[in-house]
């Protein structure tokens, strides 16, 4: 499903897809909606008893025992809409507070990340193992909405606390991609606030199955109700977590 979604996205990418403003600094494109419709249709056909939670239009009501597919048809819509290549499709299957399957596909780079609970994480078929950087050069991947510039002073204080401890800071505009990179690149950590279920549903499993520690800013395992998270190699997480918690 993820590969098919990527093909559809690439058919629109760079061709000025029709874009609608959902709210300030947040858009949806015709590509988002088409991919969502196709993915939801395939899931409904294959698993009619399952529920779906998607970013754009499909938000089934579900209980703790239901099997729930959590979809972001296009994570990084703002990037996609202006021709920037960092975006992906994210698909996950959860039951209650447990992620079972996760898939992220970055179609520009043709990288497919897959994970199944207890069976590890893979990038293009190769096993992933989270790594520290031997030179201790840390890259922080943070996602802070523009709206927090006006209302999230505490959030930004947390970020300022982190900066002396890292070598590079990148805001990629795609939380799911951030988590995939934590799993696959040495010395990466992801710090995300004001997130939704579809931002972390697949990536949190991929990162954790690769050996990363992924928690909310209270130190708890992330769930579909989490609104923030820190993901990193366990040693990096232990070092950085107290700095984020101070102003969470």
Please enumerate, by residue number, every residue annotated as part of a binding site for Mg(2+). Answer: 55, 72, 74-75, 199
Q: Tens of pLDDT along 8-33?
A: 999 999 886 677 776 666 788 899 99
pLDDT at 14: 87
Give, for 36, the enclosing helix (H) or strand (E).
helix 30-46
pLDDT at 247: 47
Closest CA to 182 of 127, 233, 244: 233
pLDDT at 214: 98
pLDDT at 138: 78
Cα distance between residue 144 and residue 49, in whole Å: 36
pLDDT at 116: 98
Cα distance between residue 109 and residue 111, in whole Å: 5
Q: Retrieve residue 79's tokens.
A: 């990037």
Closest CA to 162 of 69, 51, 245: 245
- The helix/strand/coil state of 2 is helix
What domains are defined for the chain?
Answer: 2-127 (3.30.540.10), 139-245 (3.40.190.80)
Question: Which residue positions in the chain have pLDDT lower than 50?
Answer: 152, 247-248
For the question of whether the overall pTM of this predicted structure is more than 0.85, the answer is yes
Please enumerate, by residue number, every residue annotated as part of a binding site. Answer: 55, 72, 74-75, 199
């Amino acid at each position: 499903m993820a590969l098919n979604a990527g093909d559809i996205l690439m058919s629109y990418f760079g061709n000025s897809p029709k874009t609608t403003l959902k709210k300030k600094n947040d858009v949806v494109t015709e590509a988002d909606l088409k991919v969502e419709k196709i993915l939801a249709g395939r899931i409904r056909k294959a698993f009619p008893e399952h529920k779906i939670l998607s970013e754009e239009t499909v938000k089934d009501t579900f209980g703790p025992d239901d099997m729930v597919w959590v979809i972001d048809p296009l994570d990084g819509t703002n990037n996609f809409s202006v021709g920037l290549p960092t975006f992906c499709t994210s698909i996950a299957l959860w039951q209650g507070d447990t992620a079972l399957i996760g898939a992220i596909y970055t179609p520009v780079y043709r990288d497919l990340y897959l994970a199944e609970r207890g069976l590890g994480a893979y990038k293009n078929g190769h096993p992933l193992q989270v790594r520290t950087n031997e030179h201790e050069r840390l890259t922080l991947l943070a996602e802070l909405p523009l709206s927090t510039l006006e209302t999230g002073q505490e959030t930004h204080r947390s970020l300022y606390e982190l900066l002396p401890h890292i070598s590079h800071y990148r805001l990629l505009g795609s939380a799911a991609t951030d988590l995939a990179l934590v799993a696959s690149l040495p010395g990466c950590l992801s710090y995300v606030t004001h997130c939704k279920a579809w931002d972390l549903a697949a990536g949190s499993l991929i990162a954790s199955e690769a050996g990363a520690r992924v928690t909310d800013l209270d130190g708890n395992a992330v769930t579909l109700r989490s609104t923030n998270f820190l993901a990193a190699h366990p040693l990096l997480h232990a070092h950085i977590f107290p700095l984020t918690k101070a102003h969470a």
